């Protein structure tokens, strides 16, 4: 692949650069919704179902103290709540609130819309091929991640 000034970038470089672009969009949309990127990720994870703190720490890659602070700040904004874990009376789960669900849904839709604009310069056939290639790569690596531990919310 050739970059703008004749610079050659390989597959790894292109994937790293696209990661930077996606992360930049994610941060931009987060701010527009009054969230930090970490709060956006937390909402994404708990949108489908409540998660225990240990599981959240693994999925988000956060230490216990960092996760506790993130959950505290997000709960103070009324976006998540702690509730008893039905499987363990000593533990809590983090669940999304109704306002948090509305924000998470809108945030997710807007993020996806903007990310899908990144390959807008491609024709329909190339976009479909890109989807097939990236989708297959995600599935293979999610299967590998499931074998190692909890998967991300995606």
Which candidate, 36, 71, 68, 45, places its Cα nearest to that of 151?
45
Structural domain includes residue 144: no
Structural domain includes residue 17: yes
CB 153 within 8 A of CB 104: no
Structural domain includes residue 69: yes
Q: How confident is the model at residue 142 (pLDDT cuts 50, 70, 90)?
A: confident
Length of the chain in terms of residues written = 154
Structural domain includes residue 35: yes
**Number of domains within the chain:** 1
CATH number, domain with residue 76 = 1.10.10.10
pLDDT recorded at residue 154: 44
Structural domain includes residue 147: no
More confident residue, 89 or 45: 45
Structural domain includes residue 101: yes
Structural domain includes residue 74: yes
CB 33 within 8 A of CB 109: no
Nearest 5°: phi and psi at 81?
A: -140, 155
Structural domain includes residue 40: yes
pLDDT recorded at residue 89: 82
pLDDT recorded at residue 6: 59
Pairing of strands 51-52, 80-85: unpaired
Indicate left, alpha or beta for 151 from its phi (over 0: left) and psi (-120 to 50: alpha): beta
pTM > 0.85: yes or no: no
In the chain, % of residues over pLDDT 70: 88
pLDDT recorded at residue 149: 41
Domain holding 77, by residue range, is 11-119
Which candidate, 44, 16, 17, 15, places its Cα nearest to that of 133?
15
């Amino acid at each position: 692949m050739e970059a703008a000034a004749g610079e050659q970038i390989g597959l790894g470089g292109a994937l790293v650069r696209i990661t930077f672009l996606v992360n930049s969009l994610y941060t931009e949309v987060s701010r527009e919704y009054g969230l930090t990127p970490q709060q956006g990720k937390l909402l994404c994870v708990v949108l489908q179902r409540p998660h225990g703190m240990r599981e959240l720490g693994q999925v988000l890659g956060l230490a216990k103290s960092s996760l506790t602070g993130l959950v505290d700040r997000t709960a103070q904004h009324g976006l998540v709540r702690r509730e008893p874990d039905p499987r363990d009376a000593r533990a809590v789960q983090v669940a999304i609130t109704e306002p948090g669900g509305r924000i998470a849904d809108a945030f997710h839709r807007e993020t996806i819309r903007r990310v899908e604009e990144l390959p807008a310069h491609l024709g329909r056939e190339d976009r479909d091929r890109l989807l097939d290639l990236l989708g297959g790569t995600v599935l293979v690596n999610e299967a590998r991640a499931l074998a190692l531990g909890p998967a991300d919310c995606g």
